Amino acid sequence: MSRRLPLISVLIAASLCLAASYGLRFSLMESQQWVGLCVEAPQRLACEIRAGLGWLIHLRVLAWAALLSAVLAFVLPGRWGWRLAVPALLLGLPALVLYSASLAAFAVVLALLRLVRAPQPAQAL
């Protein structure tokens, strides 16, 4: 297995996550069609999802989760840190797109720094 394969798969997943986040933002959150429909019938499933996502955005849940994961990933050594940096990145990108840029930018930078950090050699005792 190539050494770059995990990094390439993370980049593909991040691209798909970013595209889905922009699609969600512009098709559900900012669409004038849904604003009118949700005023008339707020009990629709899409309107409830829109309202729940609005609360997630307002409380910055995605951004705080990404920041917590990124800080833990930055501190943890080895594979565990790298594996925790992936969800931090995949939570931070939607938080950037969905109006929580202040915390999410820091989380994404930390996660990316952890993903590209060179592995440290094992120390002999």
> Residue 122: what pLDDT?
59
Could you tell me the pLDDT band of residue 123, with boundaries at 50, 70 and 90? low
**Residues in Cβ contact with 10 at an 8 Å cutoff, skipping those fewer than 6 apart:** 86, 89, 115
pLDDT, the chain, mean: 88
∠ Cα 31 33 38 (to 5°): 100
> Residue 124: what pLDDT?
53
> Residue 68: what pLDDT?
96
Residue whose pair of structure tokens reads 């699609």 in the numeric block: 23
Percent of the chain at pLDDT exceeding 70 = 94
> Residue 85: what pLDDT?
94
Q: 114: helix, coil or strand?
A: helix
**Cα–Cα dist 107/64, whole Å:** 8
Q: Where are the alpha helices (DSSP H) in the chain?
A: 5-24, 32-40, 45-58, 61-75, 78-97, 101-116
pLDDT tens digits, 13-52: 999 999 999 999 998 888 888 888 888 888 988 889 889 9
